Structure 1
């Protein structure tokens, strides 16, 4: 069984269009694909390597009914930091398409200047957060 956040991470990290577009936007090259699950290593925190994506598991809802099967509805947050707003608007459709391909759909989103860098023009980042969920059915044994 694969966990929801790992499924989302794999869909994004293995999406060649996304990783190539992100690499083309970077001003400092690195061997990392800048897509992380859980934590972003400290050396990559900041705008030097943006755009950066982080995937975090939020939780899930479990549903069942009188021996007639069950499903879980996992929730995941995909955070994206970019140097410019236009980079984010270019990457978002690629991300959404990759998530749609694995059955995860957006249920909320937000975007704003990163509160930690908003008052520092030379370090400024834009932050986009997509809250997505999928449905995983459990089969009776």
Structure 2
């Protein structure tokens, strides 16, 4: 249960739908419960749960029943500044960053999310995604560099 929120956020990063993400987490916990007798064979249960979450999320996306829908309701509440201009500007920036991240190659997007949102260590990310730790570091660097460059381009050129 301590990883429930991480699993939820990871599923939500794929599905962009709160109810679908909750369903995925529930499916993961059912699978964990069904394998409760063999859990001691897994070196890192949390990493295994994250893999399950990723695979189930991708399966859900591929299913014909799932329709990807994103809405502005998913944007976080803005505290402090009541200025409509500031709020709109911040929402636009958040939306832009999300778009840049969503357009990254899948591996880079996953690594960026696991490291910068979930706070996993490099080795944990390597375990979750079945990658070499150097691949994790390189892909994270490239993902951050790409998002940063796109933000700089928007500031410079207004695109």
Q: TM-score normalised to the size of structure 1?
A: 0.29
Structure with greater strand share of residues: 1
Higher RCO (C-alpha under 8 Å, 6+ residues apart): 1
TM-score (normalizing by structure 2) = 0.27
Bigger-Rg structure (1/2): 2
